[in-house]
């Protein structure tokens, strides 16, 4: 089996010294400042119907460093500052290509604190990584080794809301090998009662990580709400306590999803999922918490890149496909499917579990997509005039207080 060259990011936690933390904090602030100034300049030019590209903003950065007001930009490495201008250029490219909204300004409190270094901005020798403007290497917890002979191309340093420091090392990973081909196929139906239901009849329980820490989170949020607003130390401590609980929830959720998606990709050649509109679902106030905790979009993202790595096929079925209302045995479409019905019997005599039946129908539709190469859209609307996707959303809200 031939090896494929894959760019892969390896993320580690590290513990900076006080001097390193101060240097990185200054870098984060300068990166944010340069990004916002360049965005403001490009926005003003946009109002004048002029185009400003990366080269123009790079020249602006050189001029800004020569001013007395912005001379402090010279105190940090120039590499992250140039990289943030490249990121802004990418954001405008996506905007002009109608793949994203207009870029927005970075906030000191809400935006992600990060800085990206290319090869000229760091030194990696003998398993030790030293960033520009620093005399000592970072104290990195190497929880797993980098690929043998790896040469990092970029290094991204970040700090999350909980105050934890992370470094992401991007390098070629020659160890990613396509898995041996298999005839196994599986349909995957996402839900809230069960995280996923498989066409094999297996159901994966929804761990509801947020629910387990909901009492602790609510208590911490109440304490935060009692603190005087501003930049006080007590409010910062309370805010960090809330962030640590959120980080704990996110870490457990991500770990569970990684284990699940790796198992599904290893065992099956073709995986079929539904194109869920998670962005619209979370607009429902009674549903947003449960949908966000299930992390369906993150689940799909993991399946996408792991299937690409290991030579698997991921088929995405159209969101309007009425998977829950079709009989997987005879193909009959039910006129109505009451939301409280979790199992039902078709006129042909077949008895179905609602979620497993949907997974089986998704698998059948995925096979049709693979064979025909077109989207599956047998019925965009249900006979009652309500979209199948909306029905599933409202069905998930039943008994939402216990989620």
The per-residue pLDDT for range 332-342, each reduced to its tens digit, is: 887 777 667 77
Q: What is the pLDDT of residue 177?
A: 87
What is the CA angle 92-36-51, rounded to 5?
A: 40
Tokens (6 digits) for 120 = 């000229």
Question: Where is 8: in which H helix or E strand?
Answer: strand 6-14
Band of residue 42 on the pLDDT scale cut at 50, 70, 90 = very high
CB under 8 Å to 183, separation ≥6 — which residues?
269
| Residues 6+ positions from 226 with CB-CB distance below 8 Å | none
The C-alpha atoms of residue 57 and residue 41 are separated, in whole angstroms, by 8
Per-residue model confidence (pLDDT) at position 192 = 87
Q: Please write the tens of the pLDDT for every residue from 232-246.
A: 899 999 999 999 999
149: left (phi over 0), alpha (psi -120 to 50) or beta: left
Over residues 359-363, mean pLDDT: 91
Question: What is the spatial distance between Cα 78 and Cα 121, in angstroms, rounded to a whole number?
Answer: 8
The answer to whether the CB of 93 falls within 8 A of the CB of 53 is no
Q: Give all strands (DSSP E) within 77-193, no chain letters.
A: 113-118, 122-125, 128-131, 140-141, 154-159, 165-173, 185-190
Tokens of 52: 């400003």
Q: Using pLDDT thresholds of 50, 70 and 90, give the confidence band for residue 373.
A: low
Catalytic residue set: 189, 274, 355
Q: How many CB atoms lie within 10 A of CB 371?
A: 8
CA distance 275 to 190: 10
> Torsion angle, CA of 159/162/168/174, rounded to 10 degrees?
-170
At 219, is the secondary structure helix, strand, or coil?
Answer: helix
């Amino acid at each position: 089996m031939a090896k494929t060259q894959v760019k892969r990011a390896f993320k580690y936690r590290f513990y900076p010294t006080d001097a390193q933390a101060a240097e990185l904090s200054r870098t984060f602030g300068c990166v944010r400042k340069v990004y916002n100034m360049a965005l403001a300049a490009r926005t003003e030019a946009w109002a004048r119907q002029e185009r400003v590209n990366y080269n123009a903003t790079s020249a602006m950065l050189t001029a800004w460093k020569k001013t007395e007001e912005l001379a402090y930009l010279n105190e940090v490495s120039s590499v992250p500052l140039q990289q943030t201008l490249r990121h802004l250029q990418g954001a405008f490219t996506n905007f002009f290509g109608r793949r994203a909204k207009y870029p927005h300004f970075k906030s000191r409190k809400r935006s992600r604190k990060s800085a990206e270094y290319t090869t000229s901005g760091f030194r990696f020798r003998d398993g030790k990584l030293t960033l520009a403007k620093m005399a000592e290497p970072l104290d990195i917890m190497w929880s797993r080794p980098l690929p043998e002979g790896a040469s990092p191309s970029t290094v991204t340093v970040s700090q999350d809301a909980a105050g934890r420091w992370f470094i992401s090392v991007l390098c070629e990973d020659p160890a990613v090998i396509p898995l041996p081909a298999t005839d196994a196929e599986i349909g995957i139906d996402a839900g809230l009662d069960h995280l996923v239901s498989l066409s094999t009849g297996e159901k994966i329980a929804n761990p509801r990580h947020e629910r387990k820490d909901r009492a602790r989170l609510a208590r911490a949020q109440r304490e935060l709400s009692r603190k005087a607003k501003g930049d006080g130390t007590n409010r910062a401590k309370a805010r960090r306590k809330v962030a640590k609980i959120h980080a704990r929830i996110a870490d457990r959720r991500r770990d569970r999803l990684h284990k699940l998606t790796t198992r599904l990709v290893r065992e099956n050649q073709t995986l079929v999922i539904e194109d869920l509109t998670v962005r619209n679902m979370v607009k429902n106030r009674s549903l947003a918490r449960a949908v966000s905790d299930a992390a369906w979009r993150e689940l799909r993202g993991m399946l996408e890149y792991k299937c690409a790595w290991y030579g698997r096929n991921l088929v995405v079925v159209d969101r309007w496909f009425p998977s829950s209302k079709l009989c997987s045995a005879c193909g009959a479409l039910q006129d109505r499917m009451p939301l409280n019905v979790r199992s039902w019997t078709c006129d042909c005599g077949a008895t179905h579990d609602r979620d497993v039946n949907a997974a089986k129908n998704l698998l059948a539709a995925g096979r049709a997509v693979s064979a025909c190469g077109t989207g599956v859209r047998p019925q965009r609307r249900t006979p009652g005039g309500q979209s199948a996707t909306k029905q599933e959303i409202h069905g998930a809200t039943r008994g939402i207080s216990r989620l």
